[in-house]
Amino acid sequence: MAEPNTLQTLDRGLRVLELVSESPDGLSIAELAERLEVHRAICYRLVATLEGRGLVSRTRQGRIRLGAGVAVLAARFEPQLRRDAQPLLADLADETHATAFLSMAEGDEAVVVSVAEPQGTFLRVGYRVGSRHPLSRGAAGIAILALRPARDDDPDDVTQARRAGFSHTTGQLERGAVGVSAGVRRAGAELSVGVVAMDGLDVEKAANAVMRVAQELERMGSH
């Protein structure tokens, strides 16, 4: 049910986009209507409106998938996101003496979209913009998975990250590398902010820092 200060139709339309984005094979009108708990006729109108804006499309089998309009919005969103994130990442890197980064879910992978290195540190992890890895491996991907609704088959590290508010991994992507990340809810995107270091990372300090930066990014995105 929509909150008292929201528009119900808009809220339902946004929910359609969320549900479709979580279903790689698309959803039928019947499946959408069931998940939205609305009549199929209402669901048809919602889909037709979103389809007219290019935000969803229909396969030959009639299944609803995200449309090209979403990619256009994402392309406009990323520069703004990086602009907001970069100074925060620079401060985070210096505070934790570790490489700081922002990642975004793309399919079943986490992709690094922004990176900052700490000043005066010579031993660094080779994390670059464009680096990608499965969501199921590494602190960044696990933090993103922890943003999603809980499932019975969630791995223990995702459940723990959801409970703690951050993920912590060691050596999953690179031998000896320690990573800490927190999920970021912003404009419907699945994001995480984190740090990674080869040695001497204060995990408790890093966890508090990445959760604080995640909250700041969410706050900036809401204005």
Q: What local confidence, expressed as pLDDT, does residue 207 receive?
A: 97
Which of 70, 129, 127 shows the shortest CA–CA distance to 104? 129
pLDDT tens-digit readout, 183-207? 998 866 789 999 999 877 899 999 9
pLDDT tens-digit readout, 13-28? 988 988 888 787 889 9
Q: Whole-structure pTM over 0.85, yes or no?
A: no
Domains of the chain: 8-66 (1.10.10.10), 71-221 (3.30.450.40)
Residue type for position 4? P
